[in-house]
Amino acid sequence: MALALAFLRWIKLLMILIVFQGVCVVFYYTLNTHSSRDGMRDPLQLLRCAKLRHKFSIIKPAKSIKLKSFTQELSDLMSCPYRANTTERELNRMRLQFCCNATGLLFLTKHNTAINQNILYETSTTKRYKMNAAVHSMLPEDLPWSGRRLGRCAVVGSGGILKNSSCGREIDSADFVIRFNLALINDSDVGLKTDLITINPSQITNGYKNLMQDPDPLVERVSVYRNASLALPAFAYTFCTGVSIKTLKVLRPIRPQQPVVFFSPVYLRTLDRFWKGRGLKETRLSSGFMLISTALELCEHVHVYGFWPFGMDLQDNPVPYHYYDELSPHRSMHKMPEEFVRLLQLHSQGALTLHLGPCVHP
């Protein structure tokens, strides 16, 4: 008797499965007659997308990555519809604001820094800089966002993956655009709009040796970014301070509409601890990763372009290291692939949007 019942149950299950499969097949065929975008609603495809999102939302050390299968799966993930997760986004915002507070502390301002305050360096526990009245008077009154939440932000790295991407229009349509290391701008691939751009102090030391006597070359270089803030890590290492203050002194009278600002070493240090506490082990975070974290706190939506640490793109074509020069990667203190794995996790969790391919225009 029990056996017969079990058999009947089994038959019933089989019937359900057959009917369900039939439905799936019908679904598959009706949907596949539409464009590939519509095809995304195909349940098998959606299931595969959910699996990929889950897979990439779990951190694995970058060195365990086998590039061939990795780029294939990544390419599949990137053709899946993006799923934003507002809860995840707000959680990240709260965590970052609580730990690091870019909202109130990203740059030194007259408001958050006092005359004669001892500024502790980001990378040292003993070295300090005593803020004098002259430098203090040149700090901005307040942060550019002063309390308001930024809308759609584009964080534009310098990766060669942007070459021929046609992403310029999309990037320029963001409300706030962040760039790095005085990267060249170009309307077709990377856009022109710039609200914040970093300068590496060594760029000034090496490229503008005669800055005090002849500021014109630097003035010309920075004026393409119009009114964007120029941000320097003046208190990361002691060698950064003199050159950063010199840059501020030279540019301020000539381009008063273009603020030169200094990252708060407290912000950068707490951010570094935040990510180290989450297993990201490297000597110092890259400025790209720092400012993506900043954007996660300040912006409603974060779109990330030009971050790709590998030598081949998703279609297996070689990718130059930077979009704007012919340099090859040098050994550095940053672990770009480890950072990239984090970005991929944030993308899969719906906290930010990574762009890894060309931008398509409707």
Ligand X SMILES: *[C@@H]1O[C@H](CO)[C@@H](O)[C@H](O)[C@H]1NC(C)=O
146 forms part of the interface with ligand X (CB under 6 A): no
Report in angstroms how near the CB of residue 172 gets to ligand X at its nearest. Answer: 13
103 forms part of the interface with ligand X (CB under 6 A): yes
User: What's the CA gap between 86 and 247, in Å, rounded?
Assistant: 40
Helix, strand, or coil here: 174?
coil
Give the Cβ contact number of residue 93 at 10 Å: 18
Looking at the Cβ atoms of 123 and 270, the one nearer to ligand X is 270
Helix, strand, or coil here: 104?
helix
The DSSP 8-state label assigned to residue 332 in this structure reads: -
Candidates 79, 124, 186, 200; binder of ligand X (CB under 6 A) is 186
Which is nearest to 348 in space by CA: 322, 356, 274, 155?
A: 356
57 forms part of the interface with ligand X (CB under 6 A): no
Active site amino acids = 334
Burial class, 139, CB count within 10 angstroms (exposed 0-12 / middle 13-18 / buried 19+):
buried
Does residue 197 contact residue 230 with C-beta atoms inside 8 Å? Answer: yes
Candidates 152, 163, 221, 246; binder of ligand X (CB under 6 A) is 163
Q: Give the gyration radius of the chain's Cα atoms.
A: 25
Report in angstroms how near the CB of residue 247 gets to ligand X at its nearest. Answer: 19
Phi, psi for residue 266 in degrees, rounded to 5: -65, -45
197 forms part of the interface with ligand X (CB under 6 A): no
Report in angstroms how near the CB of residue 78 gets to ligand X at its nearest. Answer: 17
The DSSP 8-state label assigned to residue 315 in this structure reads: T
Does residue 271 contact residue 99 with C-beta atoms inside 8 Å? Answer: yes
Report in angstroms how near the CB of residue 164 gets to ligand X at its nearest. Answer: 4
Judged by CB under 6 A, the chain residues 73 through 92 that form the site for ligand X are 85, 87-88, 91
Q: Which two tokens stand for residue 188?
A: 């077709």
Judged by CB under 6 A, the chain residues 105 through 124 that form the site for ligand X are 105, 112
Candidates 132, 227, 238, 283; binder of ligand X (CB under 6 A) is 227
345 forms part of the interface with ligand X (CB under 6 A): no
Looking at the Cβ atoms of 188 and 332, the one nearer to ligand X is 188
Residues that bind ligand X (CB under 6 A): 85, 87-88, 91, 97-98, 101, 103-105, 112, 163-164, 186, 188-189, 226-227, 257, 320
